[in-house]
Amino acid sequence: MKQDWKPGTLIYPLPAAMISCGGTPDEYNIITLSWLGTICTNPPMCYISVRPERHSYDIIKRNMEFVINITTNDLAFATDWCGVKSGRNTNKFEEMGLTAGKASIVQAPIIVESPLNIECRVKEIISLGSHDMFIADVVNVKADEKYIDPETDKFCLEEANPIAYSHGQYYNLGNKIGGFGWSVKKKKEDI
């Protein structure tokens, strides 16, 4: 038996990411978001959705750049804290002991402690209602070398223990159940 609920955004789990923004150190800020995702492979594009009343909204709109910083178990406390505290009242980098590093392409800082930093340049802003969507080109990705397999050159994000957000809660990712195409892959005895 299923119940009808009012329409809502119950597509979970989602990434829990810290978005860093700002063109100069005096305006650097971090906002935690889960309304984000991939929208195109070629060219690489993604989006974040931000409420206009959030402090980071004006910073991102003015600079038209941001960095998506993937979060981990080690960053879970800072991830939540940066989502509930306003950058109007505090320096989130200092308060959480995070390092604002230099990005390669954009002026917005990376969070050095994050295993993966996705540098983005805003292409379009779409007003949707409660949130505005910032559609962006991915202009560079910085990956922590300790998670790159030297034999395959594959980035092993799972080793960094990324976290996800689901309906108001943060979670560790579970066990691997298969890889892309595993459901149709021929078994060795079939070959």
Domain contains 181: no
* pLDDT value at 56 more than 60: yes
Q: What is the CATH number of the domain that holds 111?
A: 2.30.110.10
Domain contains 189: no
Domain contains 157: yes
Domain contains 29: yes
Lowest mean pLDDT among 62-66, 101-105, 158-162: 158-162
Q: Give the pLDDT confidence score for residue 190 in this predicted structure.
A: 52
Give the C-alpha separation, 67 to 99, whole Å: 14
Domain of residue 143 covers: 14-176
Domain contains 8: no
Domain contains 145: yes
* pLDDT value at 78 more than 90: yes
CB of 66 closer than 8 Å to CB of 136: yes
Domain contains 4: no
* pLDDT value at 11 more than 60: yes
Count the domains in the chain.
1
- The pTM of the full predicted model, rounded to 2 decimals, is 0.93
Say which residue the tokens 């809660």 belong to.
Answer: 169
Banded model confidence at residue 158, pLDDT cuts 50, 70, 90: very high
Domain contains 92: yes
